[in-house]
Amino acid sequence: MGRLGYSEEHEAFRRTVRTFLDREHEPNLARYERDGGLDRAFYRKAGEAGILGLAYTGEGDFTYYAIMAEELGRTAGSASTGSSLMADVATYILLGHGTEEQKEKYLPRILTGEITQAMPLTEPSAGSDPTAIKATAIRDGDDYVINGDKYFISNGSTADLLYVVAKTDPAKGGRGMSVIIVDSDTPGVTQAKIPMIGWRQGDTGALSFTDVRVPASNLVGREGGAMAIMMDTFLEDRIQIAARCLGAASKALELTLDYVKERKVFGQRVIDFQNSQFMLAECRSDVKIAETMVDMALMRLRQKDFTFEDGAILKLWATQMEGRVLDKCVQLFGGAGLMEETPISKMWTAARIQRVYAGTDELQKVAIARGLMEESAA
């Protein structure tokens, strides 16, 4: 049975992405792990394949991004590769809030993979609560002067185009936060890689801004508009993470099925034991439920009926589902599932961060509980 809400154009795009990743990512995985991330050639080839800048080329249809996220989840790099490439979602910020001058300057180079993007928001003391950021962008004549540190930034150590979230009016707290474009080669910007467990082929970076001076024309949207800009992509981000979890769980189940059909224990194939069948049935059920949840989320997003609470429920359930499925698959692999070179071990270690970044499980529960309390008070 086919998936809900996908056109032939969507499925053709899925085939394009899968073919590209099979050709350009999987054979080079060891090199990406050794070098600590994707190289520039990968992004240029992704641009040639037409899978960058989808906010523009996909005419605003987020289903294309969700498909790419799901296919990235199926790779051995899984969450780590996906986090780096899915930073391309930031194109929505440029298209939705950037000036024509900003679009003309950056969009063509985004589409070709010449430049990569990142959104430095999180700081050492500001994660789940973005309003606690300390970075500032103070107006000085026709410029902004930016100071502050950013941490745990996807694509942070290599990105060229930075959508920096800083306080232009610190006295206003969250309402004084703005988004300002900074080219990473601007004097005063330093970038460093943060080594992360399970994320050898992904780029997580730390950035420092010391008296970084940029033109006031680099402001994205209006002063104090950062929260509104972030909320514009908030729901989409929840869906793409869930899609990545779905892709990883689905691929892990495929790999495990192939393995247990061949592996023998006590003279029997592992799949012939009832316990193995029960574990596989649980994994299959989780994957099918995740498919339905992601597909329905995309349909409701198109209908503008996907809420903040829906996004919290989806991210909470999908990331926990991925953890359950990957854990069972590793168990069925036995010792082979813990060998560094096996794809299942890479996917398992990469999956853990999904329940932490882009809003912890606990933060999702707070959002869901708030919705429950508001309903009960009505």
155-176 confidence digits (pLDDT tens): 999 999 999 999 999 999 999 9
Read off the pTM: 0.93
Each residue's pLDDT tens digit, 100-122: 999 999 999 999 999 999 999 99
Q: According to the model, what pLDDT value does residue 9 have?
A: 95
DSSP bridge pairs for 193: 205
Residue 77 pLDDT exceeds 80: no
Task: Concatenate the DSSP letters of all residues of 310-365 into one string.
Answer: HHHHHHHHHHHHHHHHHHHHHHHHGGGGG-TTSHHHHHHHHHGGGGTTTS-HHHHH
Length of the chain: 378
Counting residues of the chain whose pLDDT is more than 70, the rounded percentage is: 98
Q: Would you say residue 201 has pLDDT above 80?
A: no
**CA 31 to chain CA centroid, nearest Å:** 22
pLDDT(83) > 80: no
**Across the chain, what does the average pLDDT equal?**
93
Does 3 have pLDDT greater than 80? yes
| Whole-number pLDDT of residue 198 | 79
Neighbour-count burial of 28, counting CB atoms closer than 10 A to its CB (0-12 exposed, 13-18 middle, 19+ buried): middle
Q: What is the pLDDT of residue 113?
A: 93
Confidence check: pLDDT of 306 > 70 = yes
pLDDT band at 80, cuts 50/70/90? low
pLDDT category, 55, cuts 50, 70, 90? confident
Q: What pLDDT, on a 0 to 100 scale, did the predictor assign at position 231?
A: 84
Of the options 1.20.1280.290, 1.10.540.10, 1.10.940.10, 3.40.50.1950, the CATH number for the domain spanning 8-112: 1.10.540.10
Note the pLDDT of residue 196: 86
Q: Which long-range contacts does 297-305 make (Cβ < 8 Å, 24+ apart)?
A: 297/238, 297/239, 297/242, 298/5, 298/62, 298/63, 298/66, 298/239, 299/4, 299/5, 301/62, 301/235, 301/236, 301/239, 302/5, 302/61, 302/62, 302/63
Write down the CATH superfamily of domain 227-377.
Butyryl-CoA Dehydrogenase, subunit A, domain 3 (1.20.140.10)
CA-nearest of 226, 246, 104, 137 to 175 is 226
Of residues 37 and 98, more confidently modeled: 98
Q: What is the pLDDT of residue 32?
A: 87
Predicted local confidence at residue 34, as pLDDT: 85
Query: How much is the pLDDT for 49?
Result: 93
The kind and range of the H/E element at 181 are strand 177-183
pLDDT at 260 over 80: yes
349 and 326 Cβ atoms separated by less than 8 Å = no
pLDDT interval class at 369 (50, 70, 90): very high
Do the beta carbons of residue 146 and residue 133 sit within 8 Å? no
Question: Is residue 309 pLDDT above 90, yes or no?
Answer: yes
CATH 1.20.140.10-classified regions of the chain: 227-377
Q: Which two tokens stand for residue 113?
A: 């993979």
**Averaged over 322-331, what is the pLDDT?**
98
| Position 92 confidence tier, pLDDT thresholds 50, 70, 90 | confident
Q: Where, residue-wise, is CATH 1.10.540.10 in the chain? A: 8-112
Residues 6+ apart with CB under 8 A from 213: 140, 143, 144, 145, 146, 186, 187, 188
The two three-digit tokens of residue 371, written as one number: 């919705």
Of the pLDDT bands very low, low, confident and very high (cuts 50, 70, 90), residue 47 is very high
Residue 22 is predicted with a pLDDT of: 94
Give the pLDDT confidence of 203-231 residue by residue, as tens digits.
899 999 999 999 999 999 999 999 999 88
Place domain 117-223 in its CATH homologous superfamily: Butyryl-CoA Dehydrogenase, subunit A, domain 2 (2.40.110.10)
pLDDT at 205: 94
pLDDT of the residue at 84: 66
